[in-house]
Amino acid sequence: MSELPVCLVTGAARGIGYGIAQRLAGDGWHVIMGDLDEAECRTAAERIGPQATAIALDVRDECSIEQAVNEVQLAHGRLDGLVNNAAISDPGDSRPCRR
């Protein structure tokens, strides 16, 4: 578990989300970068360095959100900050988690 404060940034693979993640890591945070495009997000996290990790995250999908919560809890035991940068262009496109 990280001794650093932990922040999740959604939509972090590129653009403003990436910039926020980069700045937080530079300011001493461990940044969990979440994005629909997991491969691009992993590449972005690697560019930032060891203070960044990537997870797959679709903020429209309740199952994806639950999985992200579980991953953060398992890896870090806590979340100190959240930057909800990911956008949803059609709120009707949300998907409930069906088990």
For the segment 83-92, what is each residue's pLDDT rounded down to a tens digit? 999 976 666 6
Q: Report the pLDDT value the prediction gives residue 10, as an integer from 0 to 100.
A: 97
Q: Report the pLDDT value the prediction gives residue 59, as an integer from 0 to 100.
A: 92
Q: Report the pLDDT value the prediction gives residue 87, as an integer from 0 to 100.
A: 78
Ordered domains of the chain (ranges, CATH): 6-87 (3.40.50.720)
Complete edge-to-edge strand list for the sheet that includes strand 30-35: 52-56, 30-35, 6-10, 81-83
Quick one: average pLDDT of 58-67?
A: 93
Quick one: average pLDDT of 55-71?
A: 94
Q: What is the pTM of this model?
A: 0.88
- Cα 97 from Cα 25, distance rounded (Å): 32
